[in-house]
Amino acid sequence: MKLLTKTSLIVITISVFIIFAGNHLFFHISKQMIENHVDSELMDQMHKIKTVFDQERLKENHVFLNYEVDIKPLRKHRHIEPQFADTVLRKEEKQAYLPYRALQFSHIVKGKNKQVTIYKSLVSADKLIQRITISSIMVLIVFMLLIYAMNRHVFEKVWSVFFRNLSKVQSYNIQSKEKLNLEPSEIEEFDKLNKVHMKMVERIENDFLNLKELTANTTHELQTPLAIIKGKAELLLQSDNLNNKELNIVNTILETAQRLSKLNQSLLMISRIENNQYGEVSCINLHQVLSQLIENYTILIDARQFDLHINSVDTCVNMNPVLAEVLISNLIKNAIVHGSEMGRIQITLEKNKLQICNSGEPLEIPRSQVFKRFVKKSTSEGSSGLGLEIVNRICRYYKIKIDYDYQNKLHCFTLNFSEINTTC
């Protein structure tokens, strides 16, 4: 959830709670104030009625001004102190019961004790309270909407620099030559965050350059001693003074040196891919690349007696020629090395799609680890353990979708080229 949305929801929730709580309190306060006002009017009316009693004779249920007065006989010695009560009276003209406020008291009229009840209608007061409450709710809703709009405006204005800098950090590429330049902010916390970001990026850039240089130097320097080891071992193999045991030892040294050389070359290629050293691209016909590689691997395919099936059409992509060849070569080599002897290899090249399958037993490792380096089913001689890792890196580099599946005793790797430019 975005910060602005989260903040707005909190503001709205608190505002709604305040509106209902405030209106509830306002309703009861208004009602109490009106009741006090009505009670005060009833008390004034009581005094007026007592004065009138001494001047003229009133009939029972007499209407006095805007008040209804009910006069009933009362026992001589009974006295009623003035007391207020809420009640309802039925009005025939409206066919309904209406709310009233009543004041009841006793008074001596010409020597007779009377019970007097004064009624004051609360209909207008209730309507007034309702109108006031509705008006206050509408005012508060408008106020809440204004607060929400103002909050968004202030938020966008205050946080605008932060979001622009965030966009720059998200799009920053450490392999690019462009430097990360963040805008200064008037907000102290944002300015501190910018400084932390810049220091962090500077450290990452330095570490990246140091690691890049170390990898390049290490892989380059290893080539010379490995070539020397291979050369000396080959010279020893040509010697006539070695017995079978010594020949086996020298042969093991030579094979190990060759494997180290392949491993070194694979690591160097991964490093170059990550360092964007294969930037140049050209239009590559995958059908031609596939045909050439199949011809190169014919001896290995025939040696293991694979049943090879190929269905290929012309498909062109914009890729680096070296990486395109390495990508397909590693998948074919993986099928040959890890496929069942006298098994099946099936290669299908369609528009935007390449699938290479080989027969074999199910994997002994989770499918999620198929593309991880040095994780494989067998320990085949000459295998660096980095073939599928290189394939995965190339696919990530060009945003090629790669999937692995095992069905009908076939291990299938599928490449989808729809994300890269195939119009060339």
**CA atoms of 344 and 308, how far apart (whole Å):** 6
pLDDT for position 54: 65
Q: Give the pLDDT band of residue 379 (cuts 50, 70, 90).
A: very low
> What is the Cα 280 distance to its own chain's centre?
35
User: What is the predicted pLDDT for the residue at 413?
Assistant: 93
Percent of the chain exceeding pLDDT 70 equals: 90
Residue with tokens 């008006």: 135
Domain at 280-416, CATH from 3.40.50.300, 3.30.565.10, 2.10.25.10, 3.20.20.140: 3.30.565.10
In contact, 411 and 358? CB cutoff 8 Å: yes
For position 1, what pLDDT does the model report?
65
- Copy the structure tokens of residue 274: 């990550």
Assess whether pLDDT exceeds 90 at residue 209: no
- Beta-ladder partners of 115: 72, 106
- Residue 313 corresponds to which tokens in the numbers above? 């059409």
Q: What is the mean pLDDT of the chain?
A: 80
Asked if pLDDT for residue 63 goes beyond 60, the answer is no
pTM of the model: 0.51
**Do the strands 282-285 and 67-73 form a parallel or antiparallel pair, or are they unpaired?**
unpaired
Backbone angles phi, psi at 100, to 5 degrees: -140, 155
Query: Residue 60: pLDDT band by 50, 70, 90 thresholds?
Result: very low
Instruction: Return phi, psi of residue 235, to 5°.
Output: -65, -40
pLDDT at 65 over 60: no
d(CA 32, CA 55): 35
Whole-number pLDDT of residue 56: 59
| Cα separation, 392 vs 269, whole angstroms | 12
CA–CA separation, 387 and 374 (whole Å): 9
CA angle 288–292–293, rounded 5-degree value? 115
The Cα-based distances of 171 to 71, 168, 237 in angstroms read 89, 5, 56
398, with CB counted inside 10 A (0-12, 13-18, 19+), is buried
Question: Domain residue spans in the chain?
Answer: 3-139, 188-273, 280-416
Right CATH for 188-273 from 1.20.58, 1.10.10, 1.10.1740, 2.60.120: 1.20.58
Instruction: Establish whether domains 188-273 and 280-416 are of one fold.
Output: no
Residue of 301, 297, 311, 325 lying closest to 391 (CA atoms): 325
What is d(CA 131, CA 141) in angstroms, rounded to the nearest whole number?
Answer: 15
- pLDDT at position 61: 45
What's the chain's Rg over C-alpha atoms? 47
- Which of 26-35, 62-71, 337-346, 411-420 shows the lowest mean pLDDT across its residues? 62-71
**What type of residue is 400?**
I
Please, how many CA atoms are within 13 Å of residue 1, restricted to the half-sphere of its CB? 8
For the chain, the three-class secondary structure string (H helix, E strand, C coil) is: CCHHHHHHHHHHHHHHHHHHHHHHHHHHHHHHHHHHHHHHHHHHHHHHHHHHHCCCCCCCCCEECCEEEEEEECCCCCCCCCEEEEEEEEECCCCEEEEEEEEEEEEEECCEEEEEEEEEECHHHHHHHHHHHHHHHHHHHHHHHHHHHHHHHHHHHHHHHHHHHHHHHHHCCCCCCCCCCCCCCCCHHHHHHHHHHHHHHHHHHHHHHHHHHHHHHHHHHHHHHHHHHHHHHHHHHCCCCCCHHHHHHHHHHHHHHHHHHHHHHHHHHHHHHHCCCCCCCEEEEHHHHHHHHHHHCHHHHHHCCCEEEEEECCCEEEECHHHHHHHHHHHHHHHHHHCCCCCEEEEEEECCEEEEEEECCCCCCCHHHCCCCCCCCCCCCCCCCCHHHHHHHHHHHHCCEEEEEEECCEEEEEEECCCCCCCC
Confidence at 4, pLDDT banded by 50, 70, 90: low
Taking a C-beta distance cutoff of 8 angstroms, is the pair 313, 351 a contact?
Answer: yes
